[in-house]
Structure 1
Amino acid sequence: MPLPVALTIAVIGGSGGPVVAGGLSSLVAASLPDTAHGRGYAWDAATYNAASVVGPAVVAAVATLFSASTSGYLLAAAATGAGVLIFGVSTRPVDHNDRTPAFGTDLVSGFVTVWRRPVLRAVTAASCLAYLGLGGLTITAVLAARQWGSATQGGLLMTCFAVGATAGALGLARRPVPIAPQWLAALSLLITGIGLAGAAAATSVIPAGAFFLLAGLGDGPLLGATFHVRATHTTPRDRAQVFTTGAALKISAAALGAAVAGSVPVSPMILLVGIAITQGAAALLLWLMLRHVGSVTKVAAD
């Protein structure tokens, strides 16, 4: 089809991304007791990461055995099937005081809630900064692999990252760590930054793959920790809006990062260093925004 039509369809399809990535995850909190939120969201994050490993592999295999258009039909069928399965999702009823707000009010309330609650604001700002860098990681991995000998090995690097992220999320689900989720997010960002900095210093794909695996191990707990923060610092009434708002901001940041990585005329190693720096900067930003929040959060909770 003509490019403008394809782009229009992509925009329409992409508009559902925040609802899928955020709205569905908001249901986890409604399905579990408060004490199980951390582990529940670790499992939720693990499903995202596992899908990022299996999905591209299946699509690539179908494209190789059949055609790229067949892969496209497979993706469309998967999305449609998922939409049908959502009708089977049920959660405990939530008391909304018998009031149904207007769509515009709901849309604005997510941004207002994120802005007014310090921990939500800090974690959202840090995750957006982190994904401004991570959004360009796929492009950068391909460019780096080409410099090391074969652009096709860029997929191997991203697979290492996704496998590490899955392992990190599963590890957190099995053995939750006894620290607040916002500080777990900061630690995750630091580990991801260290891994990507190591990859930038590598001289071939094999050691770079090991560093991508380390970076993924850091990134895996980040998603679960972010979800946990959103669930803890929202009420059932505004939880879906906050999850969707956070997902929309993060997806937008990642898209901008991909555009920057694909357009700046610098070496892929410099890009990797830049992405690593954004992770460290996000951890620092999180610390700066949260260092005086402890007492405020405690008072609000009381």
Structure 2
Amino acid sequence: MSYPRNVLPVKKRYALSWYLTGALTARTGDEMSGPALLLAAYALTGSAARASVLLAAATVAAAVGGPVLGVLLDRAERPDRLLAAALALHALGLAAVLLTLDRLPFPLTLLLAVLSGLPGPALSAGWTARMPLTTSRAAALDAMTFDAASLAGPSLAALVTRLSSAQAAVVTAVTLICTAIPAALRLPGRGAGGSEPAAPRRPESATASGVSGSAVSAPVGEGPLRVRVLAGARYVLARPALAAVTAGSVVSSVGQGVLTACVPLLGERVLGGAADGALLPALAAGSALVANAVHARRAPGADPVRVMCAGALSQAAGAALAVAAGAADTADTAAVTLVLASALVIGAGEGPQLAGLFAVRHRETPERLRGQVFTTGASAKITGFALGAAGGGALGTWSLTGALLTAATLQLAAARVTAGRA
């Protein structure tokens, strides 16, 4: 008699193993695709500006595609199939970008990059929305797939590029994303009895009470996407602390985009090759993980606004170290040490800064508006990063030192804006 009671938990644990396997594979491919595409565009076109614009096009599209994909997944009868289709379209778009690079007019390749980026959020928010179990342990395991992918993706891109070519790195990223499609199809579908909702739908309205001039009222998860986005944006603007940290995070994201565009140039000038520059984001990601662990253990009650300001200042210091490394006449040991140290210092700021941002959002936002506020803030950050990457590539081609100084200045400005001082 005990067997039937155990069938569902066993099935859920089995589905969770498929979920985690697919999530890690897909997210590693996604984290790998960014630097791989950047390196491939730089290798084929010889232009850092074009390479960064290409990356920015795909990134901006993800800011638009994320909320839309979330609505479609919520309403789909078979969200598992929609998720698998989104993965396939994302992989197909990346392959099309690679095939057309330096073969077709660059504007057409940019258009393909935009189209490939639209279903890209399926690898992050789409997977999380289909998590079979909603326990704290399952959520922690899901978060670990992000951390592992952010470390493995750029490192794998650099390794494949070094052993073969940047084009092969893009192909490898596409293969990893496609490999996750069977796992997506094995996730429980709606009404299959094998999954729990990642976020239970609340009957209360998502009215932005207390927001001047706001009369938006729609149940959470219902209503037009435009209504939900506007409700979140109005609430952010009405809360001074929330508006300050959101604006500061966007300015910081612009600076991070500028730094990312400089990665191939730094690798070529200091590390011996553009491909080696892809190791810098992986090093920064590892530093961010360690910094967050230390912060959570040593200073869990610290003021999150001050933590965010310190994170931005740390990134400014890291950019300054990169300036010193990039200004070296030769790629000597001192320059290599400086550029590696810059990645570590930048990551040490990025990790706590993001944790502080989440803490302020949770503190300042009522539960009924939390989804809208987080979505609004994330979209703004993605857009800021894309703008920084687009401008950073052109600026870096003209002057690497100028681009890195711009990134440092933006981080200093982010610290001031975060603290509420424009």
- With structure 1 as the length reference, what TM-score do the two structures score? 0.77
Moved more, 180-189 or 5-14: 5-14
Runs of 5+ unmatched residues, structure 1: 34-39, 291-302
Aligned-residue RMSD, C-alpha = 3.6
Residues 1:228 and 2:377 are matched in the alignment: no
In the other structure, the counterpart of 1:283 is 415
Asked if structure 1 preserves the Cα contact closer than 8 Å seen for 2:261 and 2:393, the reply is yes
Q: How many angstroms apart in 2 are the aligned matches of 1:211 and 1:127?
A: 20
* Residue aligning to 2:320: 197
Structure with the greater relative contact order (CA < 8 A, sep ≥ 6): 1 or 2?
Answer: 1
Match of 2:338 in 1: 207
**1:47-196 to 2 correspondence within 5 Å?**
48-59=146-157, 64=163, 67=168, 68-78=170-180, 81=183, 88=195, 90-91=197-198, 93=200, 95-97=202-204, 99=219, 100-148=222-270, 149-196=272-319
> Unpaired segments of 5 or more residues in structure 2?
1-95, 190-194, 206-218, 329-334
Number of corresponding residues: 281
CA pair 92-132 structure 1, distance change in 2 beyond 3 A: closer
The sequence identity of aligned pairs, in percent, is 33
After the TM superposition, which residues 257-268 of structure 1 pair with which residues of structure 2 at under 5 Å, given as runs? 257-264=388-395, 265-268=397-400
The verdict on how the C-alpha distance between 1:51 and 1:110 changes in structure 2, with shifts beyond 3 A counting, is same
Letter in 2 for 1:266: W
The answer (yes or no) to whether the contact 2:323–2:401 under 8 Å persists in 1 is yes
- Give the aligned residue type for 1:14: G
Distance 1:23 1:117 in 2: 29
Contact 2:155 2:278 in 1 (8 A): no
Find the aligned partners of 1:164 and 1:78 in 2 and give their Cα distance. 28
CA, structure 1 residues 262+245, in 2 after alignment: closer, same or farther (shift >3 Å)? same
Q: In structure 2, what residue type is equivalent to 1:189?
A: A
Deviates more, 1:121-130 or 1:3-12: 3-12
Please report how far the alpha carbon of residue 194 of structure 1 lies from its aligned counterpart in structure 2 after TM superposition: 1.2
Change (3 A) 1:233 1:26: farther
SS at match of 2:419: helix
Cross-structure match for 1:297? none
Determine the C-alpha separation between the residues in 2 that align with 1:195 and 1:58: 24
- Cα pair 1:46 1:166 within 8 Å, conserved: no
- The amino acid across from 1:72 in the alignment is V
Greater gyration radius? 2
C-alpha contact 1:196 1:273 (8 A) present in aligned 2 = yes
Q: CA deviation at 1:152?
A: 2.9
Q: Supply the AA of the counterpart residue of 2:288.
A: A
Aligned-partner Cα distance in 2 for 1:138–1:69: 21
* In structure 2, C-alpha distance between the alignment counterparts of 1:179 and 1:120, rounded to whole Å: 17
Read off the aligned partner of 2:149 and give its amino acid letter: A
2:377 pairs with one of 243, 246, 249: 246
CA distance in 1, matches of 2:266, 2:354: 26
TM-score by length of 2: 0.57
Cα distance in 2 for residues equivalent to 1:19 and 1:121 = 28
1:74-101 CA-to-partner distances (Å, cap 9, x unmatched) read 1244478469769756446353326343
